[in-house]
C-alpha cells in the first residue's frame, strides 16, 4: 500500500519586511568585507513604518556610509514611493553599533585548540566567536537538488518580483509571500495540492475599483504571468484539483514595514530547506564567517 502525504513550504519576496532587513544586513557585511576582509561583523536591522534601525557589533578598519547603503538597498527592492507606505528617501535611518565584545574577540583571535595546545592543525587554529550547529541536505527532486516545496515557493516568489519590476504587472508592490503544498507518494512528489500567493498591490487596477473584482484580476494575472511560467519545465504540475489561493485575507494593500515590522534573521527556514530538513537555529545574514 502506497504512503501518501502532503508537505508545505513557504517563501517570501525581497520586499517582505524581514527580507528587507536580511538584505540590508548583507549589504553592510559585503561593503565591510570588501574594504577590510578581517572585519568582525554582526549586523542586525529592524524596520517599521518609516524607520530603519541598524544595530549590532562591528569591529573593522573599513569606512562605509551605513545610511546610504541602507537607502540604496531599499530603493533597489522597490520602496521608492511613499504610497507604498515606506520609502527609501523619506524613512529615518538610525545607527546604534558597538564594537565586538573582547570576550568574543579572544575566541576569534586565538582558537581554543591553539590556546590549550590541543592541535597543531591549520584548520583547528581558526577561531570562532560562538558555537553553532549546521545541517546540509540535498535530494534529487529538483535540478538544484532542493526539496520541491521550497524550490517551487522560491520560484514563484522570484517570478512575482520579476513581473513587478519588468512592468508586466505594474500594480504589484514589493511585499509578498508564497506557499506550495506538494503531494508525495512513497516519498516522491506526484502532484501539487495547493499554491498560495499573497502579494501587495494597489488599491485599484486601472478603472477596476471593486475589491472583489480587483482580486479576481490579480488571481487571473498571477496564474498566467507567474504560476504557468514557473511550471513550464517542471514535470509535476498543478491540475484541475489544485487549489490556487490569492490574497486569502481579502486584499493586501498595506504591506512592507508599514504593515508589519521586520527583523534580520527571522526567515531561517525560508533561507534553507523549507522545513524539509533539520535546522541548527542560527541565521545567515549580516555575519562574517567567524560568527
In the structure grid, which three cell numbers stand for residue 136, read together?
546540509
- Give yes or no for residue 73 having a pLDDT over 70: yes
Distance CA 110, CA 101 (A): 15
- Under a CB-based contact definition with an 8 Å cutoff, are residues 52 and 94 in contact? yes
Distance CA 57, CA 41 (A): 6
Per residue in 146-164, pLDDT (tens digit) is 999 999 999 999 999 999 9
pLDDT value for 258:
95
Q: Write phi, then psi, for 51 (nearest 5 degrees).
A: -140, 135
In the structure grid, which three cell numbers stand for residue 254, read together?
498595506
pLDDT value for 95:
98
Least confident of 29-33, 125-129, 162-166, 228-232: 125-129
pLDDT value for 18:
99
pLDDT value for 1:
65
pLDDT value for 23:
99
- Under a CB-based contact definition with an 8 Å cutoff, are residues 221 and 202 in contact? no
Average pLDDT (23-38) is 98
What is the sign, positive or negative, of the torsion defined by CA atoms of 255, 260, 263, 267? negative
Domains (ranges, CATH) in the chain?
4-12+137-255 (3.30.300.10)
- Under a CB-based contact definition with an 8 Å cutoff, are residues 183 and 239 in contact? no
Residue 261 gets which letter from DSSP?
-
pLDDT value for 161:
98
Identify each DSSP E strand in 92-171 by its residue range: 92-98
Per residue in 110-119, pLDDT (tens digit) is 666 666 666 6
Per residue in 125-139, pLDDT (tens digit) is 777 778 889 999 999
Per residue in 86-108, pLDDT (tens digit) is 999 999 999 999 998 887 777 77
Distance CA 151, CA 85 (A): 30
Distance CA 58, CA 119 (A): 29
Amino acid at each position: 500500500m502506497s504512503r501518501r502525504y502532503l508537505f508545505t513550504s513557504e517563501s517570501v519576496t525581497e520586499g517582505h519586511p524581514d527580507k528587507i532587513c536580511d538584505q540590508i544586513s548583507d549589504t553592510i557585511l559585503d561593503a565591510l568585507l570588501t574594504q577590510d576582509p578581517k572585519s568582525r561583523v554582526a549586523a542586525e536591522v529592524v524596520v517599521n513604518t518609516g524607520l530603519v534601525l541598524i544595530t549590532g557589533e562591528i569591529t573593522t578598519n573599513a569606512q562605509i556610509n551605513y545610511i546610504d547603503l541602507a537607502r540604496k538597498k531599499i530603493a533597489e527592492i522597490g520602496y521608492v514611493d511613499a504610497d507604498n507606505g515606506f520609502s527609501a528617501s523619506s524613512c529615518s535611518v538610525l545607527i546604534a553599533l558597538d564594537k565586538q565584545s573582547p570576550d568574543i574577540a579572544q575566541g576569534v583571535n586565538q582558537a581554543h585548540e591553539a590556546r590549550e595546545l590541543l592541535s597543531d592543525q591549520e584548520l583547528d587554529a581558526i577561531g570562532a566567536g560562538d558555537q553553532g550547529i549546521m545541517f546540509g541536505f540535498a535530494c534529487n527532486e529538483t535540478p538544484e537538488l532542493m526539496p520541491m516545496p521550497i524550490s517551487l515557493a522560491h520560484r514563484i516568489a522570484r517570478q512575482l518580483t520579476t513581473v513587478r519590476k519588468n512592468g508586466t504587472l505594474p500594480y504589484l508592490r514589493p511585499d509578498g509571500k508564497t506557499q506550495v503544498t506538494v503531494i508525495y507518494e512513497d516519498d516522491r512528489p506526484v502532484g501539487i495540492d495547493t499554491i498560495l500567493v499573497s502579494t501587495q498591490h494597489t488599491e485599484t487596477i486601472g478603472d477596476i475599483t471593486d475589491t472583489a473584482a480587483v482580486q479576481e484580476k490579480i488571481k487571473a494575472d498571477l496564474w498566467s504571468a507567474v504560476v504557468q511560467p514557473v511550471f513550464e519545465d517542471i514535470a509535476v504540475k498543478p491540475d484541475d484539483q489544485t487549489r490556487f489561493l490569492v490574497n486569502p485575507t481579502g486584499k493586501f494593500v498595506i504591506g512592507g514595514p508599514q504593515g508589519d515590522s521586520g527583523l534580520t534573521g527571522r526567515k531561517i527556514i525560508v533561507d534553507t530547506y523549507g522545513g524539509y530538513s533539520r535546522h541548527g537555529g542560527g541565521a545567515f545574514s549580516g555575519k562574517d564567517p567567524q560568527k
